[in-house]
A = this chain, B = another copy of it.
Amino acid sequence: MIKIHHLNNSRSHRVLWLLEELNAEYEIIKYQRDKFTNLAPKELKDIHSLGKSPVLEHNGKMIIESAAIVTYIIDQCASENFAPIITDSDYYQYLELMHYAEGSAIMPFLLQLYARFLGDNSKTLQPRITSEIQNHLGFLSTVLGKNEYFYRNKFSGVDIMLSFVLEAGKMSGVLQSFSNLNDLLAKYQDRDAYKKAIELGGKYSLGK
């Protein structure tokens, strides 16, 4: 059975969410952030030397990186038409967005998170961070357009991956000016599987 090494209030939430969407059988092994530093506990280092979450364990294999985990779970647990196959003409649009979520779009939000620790000391960086956040959310708003979901207008792995960017946008107080993205995040959060993942994995405050 698939095991998920799950850190509370982290990117790992979306892995549980996907597993719930697919009605997969799995086991959650829980880890708690340090109350003072908010960092992952050292026990995660025993699972994988990077000491981060999520980590997927299955048949003696460990897989890291959210997008690789999401792809693995879809390949193992989803019905045939849930994700594109390599011979589909729009396959690379999917692959591009799967990489884009953590490879580019989340970057200015992480910079903002670190800049917050520095307070006023980071103010010369703020214009660049703000413009990059607008740049990425603007792009995603155009990709979504009037569709219901990002890819093929149906719920997919891309939604799971990009949800974290929308949550970060909500937390930053800028998502509201992209009404289609704001509505989409509300729709994600209203899905039964999303709620079930919170029930199982614990409170998820990012974006609320």
Contacts and interface: CB of A to CB of B under 8 A. Distances in A.
Interface string A134-150: 01101100100000000
Contact of A102 (B51, B72, B75, B99): B99
A1 interface: no
Interface residues of A, number: 39
B121 A96 contact: no
Nearest to A100: B65
B100 A138 contact: no
B50 A136 contact: yes
Contacts of A107: 107, 110
Interface string A99-116: 110111001001100100
Nearest to A94: B68
A123 to B, nearest CB: 9
Contact of A61 (B61, B68, B75, B92): B92
Contact of A96 (B63, B92, B100): B63
A104 B95 CA distance: 17
17 contacts: A49-B142, A50-B104, A50-B136, A50-B139, A65-B100, A65-B104, A67-B99, A67-B103, A68-B98, A68-B100, A72-B92, A99-B99, A107-B110, A114-B125, A118-B118, A118-B125, A122-B122
Interface of A: 49-52, 61, 63-68, 71-72, 75, 86, 92, 95-96, 98-100, 102-104, 107, 110-111, 114, 117-118, 121-122, 124-125, 135-136, 138-139, 142
